[in-house]
Structures are given as structure tokens and as C-alpha cells.
Amino acid sequence: MTRKIIALTILLLATACVPPIVATPPQEPIKIGFYSVTPQIEWNRSMMSTRESWTIDGYALQALRFYTVGDGQTLSGQTDPDGKSPAFHKSMLPNEIQEFFVETLAAGGWAKVKPSGLKPAKFGSLPGFRFSFTMVEKDGLEYEGMALGAVKDDELNLILYSGTKLHYFPKYKPAVEKVFASISM
């Protein structure tokens, strides 16, 4: 009986640490920091202190992530006192931000991270940038992704979409393009 109570307690504590997941209404704008986006389709939304993440079929298959990164912070929104993790700096140009992103993924265990197609793009009404990328999970699964970003008030605002190359990335890419186009302030 005691083992069952301990197991139940551990299970309850573990689930208490998981951020709540809510469904996004497809045509209702969602506020993320200083801007809003319209989901286009129903996503499962998980909100954390430093970022927001959306998925449909599971984060290992595809994810749409929204980051706000301050000067001197890592992509996770933390500062690295040792300076060993890649950090954003407000003076970075788009190509340096792209490199910061690539270095962050590589440090996180992703292999063969290759960015491409860096170009200017609108982030709502702000001047921004976008690029594509490919990467390989440690087990060999290939992913594709795209990023849209802008720097406002010395903070990097970055929206990343990634999914498995064979099915999930292309399946939801049209909806994500509409999410990118829906940014309003």
C-alpha cells in the first residue's frame, strides 16, 4: 500500500511540473508579448516563462515556437554567467542572429544544422528577417524548419517552425506561413 501511495505521489508531482496545454481557436488572435498572431488551425498550446510552444501531433513531430530573448540571454531566456552558451546581443545583425541560432541547436545536440535563404522580411509592421534550416536528430531523423524574427526594444523576437522532413514539416508549412503573415501589433 505504501508503494502505491509513493508511486501516486511521484506521478502527481511529475504532472504538476508540466505546463498546461490548451487548444488555440483557429481564427482568434493570440497575444504573444507585444504582438498577436492568428493560429489558422487548431494547435495545442503550451506556455512557459521564456517561450510559448504549439504543436498538433507532438513536439517531436512538429512545433511552432515563439521566443523573446533579451540582450545577453541564451535562446532559453537565461543568462550564462560562464559565457559558454551562445547568447543574443542587441547589436547583432540578422546573419549573426542566424549563427547564434545554429550554435544554440548544435550545443543542444542537433547535428548537421544548416541554415539557408537568409533575407529581409516583415515581422508584422517591423523590419525583420527570415531563413530556413535543416537539422538531424541524434537518432538520424531529419527535420526542416523556418524562422521569422525581428529585434525590438533590444529584444530578439523569433518564431521558429520545425518538423520532420518527410511528412510533418510540409504538411503544416502553409498554415505556418499564414501565421507569419498574420502578425499584428
Give the pLDDT score at 138.
Answer: 86
pTM across the whole model: 0.85
**Each residue's pLDDT expressed in tens, for the chain with a length of 185 residues:** 444 444 333 333 333 344 567 777 788 999 998 999 999 999 999 877 568 999 999 999 999 999 999 999 998 777 777 777 899 999 999 999 999 999 999 988 899 999 999 999 999 999 999 999 999 998 899 999 999 999 999 999 999 999 999 999 999 999 999 999 999 99
Q: Which domains does the chain have, with CATH numbers?
A: 20-181 (3.40.1000.10)
Interatomic CA distance for residues 69 and 151, integer angstroms: 9
Q: For the chain, percent helix, then strand, then coil, each to nearest 5?
A: 25, 40, 35
Amino acid at 48: M
Supply the pLDDT for residue 153. Answer: 95
Query: Taking the mean position of all CA atoms in its chain, how far away is CA 34?
Result: 17
DSSP 8-state symbol, 73: B
